[in-house]
Amino acid sequence: MTITGPELGQLSCRTDIIGQEQDALHPAHLARSVSRQIPHATLHYVASGLSSEDAYGESMQHTLSSILTS
């Protein structure tokens, strides 16, 4: 299934997008691009797994906690 840019622009639900710098699977540039196409999307950045597993884990846990409790 593919969603086009115009279809993303029609989303009206809460949308949280997570991106990482220096990450091929969740690249920040792609996260920024998608978040600009979705009205009222919230963009979150987490520490890259390349920095350290601990930093990545703490950053992801903080980000997900923030998303799930807001």
Q: Count the neighbouring beta carbons within 10 Å of the beta carbon of residue 4.
A: 9
Tens digit of pLDDT for each residue in 29-57?
999 999 999 999 999 999 887 778 898 89
Task: Look at the chain and report how many structural domains it folds into.
Answer: 1
pLDDT at 43: 96
Of 32, 38, 28, 31, nearest to 7 by C-alpha is: 38
Mean pLDDT of the chain, nearest integer: 90
Bigger pLDDT: 1 vs 42: 42
Query: Domain of 42?
Result: 5-69
Distance CA 50, CA 23 (A): 8
What does DSSP assign to residue 38? S
